[in-house]
């Protein structure tokens, strides 16, 4: 049943991501800077931080509700929020080296893999 909650939350999160990103892009008349995605990522980080603290201290969002919100809804909205809270938790737990490796590694390796994927497609498909 947990997979169903994740599925439903992810669908809703994806729709909300598209709606907010589009709204922001229209509001600023479109710029070269991806402000819509930037805003979505920041809203996701603020939300997961807030709800994460409530989940820790007030037994908020347990079981399927937690799967729906944290994995599904926020995961569909932006996985950047998961990246943010996991890196924050490493810092909070004193795992500074792991936090740095996670923060820098995902950005650098992620961009490198986007570039490699682009090159592969260009090589294979022109």
Digitized pLDDT (tens) for each residue of the chain, 126 residues in all = 899 999 999 999 999 999 999 999 899 987 778 889 899 999 999 999 899 888 888 877 788 999 999 999 999 999 888 899 899 999 999 999 999 999 999 999 989 998 998 899 889 886
* Residue 22 sits in the same domain as residue 77: yes
115 with 68, same domain: the answer is no
Looking at the structure of the chain, the number of domains it has is 2
- Tell me which residue has tokens 């294979």: 124
Domain membership of residue 88 as a residue range? 2-94
Answer yes or no: do 79 and 18 share one domain. Answer: yes
In a shared domain, residues 73 and 120? no
Mark whether 70 and 108 lie in a shared domain.
no
Residues 103 and 73 in one domain: no
In a shared domain, residues 59 and 87: yes
Q: Are residues 105 and 72 in the same domain?
A: no
In this prediction the pTM is: 0.79
Residue 31 CA, distance from chain mean position = 22
Question: Same domain for 78 and 26?
Answer: yes
The answer to whether the CB of 67 falls within 8 A of the CB of 9 is: yes
Shared domain for 37 and 85, answered yes or no, is: yes
DSSP-assigned letters across all residues of 89-100 = HHHHTT-HHHHH
Residues 105 and 89 in one domain: no
């Amino acid at each position: 049943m947990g997979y169903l909650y994740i599925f439903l939350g992810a669908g809703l999160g994806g729709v909300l991501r598209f709606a907010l990103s589009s709204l922001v892009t229209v509001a600023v008349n479109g710029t070269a800077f991806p402000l819509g995605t930037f805003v979505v990522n920041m809203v996701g980080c603020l939300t997961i931080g807030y709800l994460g603290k409530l989940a820790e201290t007030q037994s908020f969002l347990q079981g399927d509700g937690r799967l729906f919100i944290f994995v599904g809804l926020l995961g569909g909205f932006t996985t950047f929020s998961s990246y943010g809270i996991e890196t924050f938790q490493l810092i909070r737990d004193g795992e500074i080296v792991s936090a740095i490796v996670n923060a820098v590694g995902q950005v650098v390796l992620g961009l490198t893999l986007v570039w490699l994927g682009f090159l592969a497609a260009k090589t294979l498909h022109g």
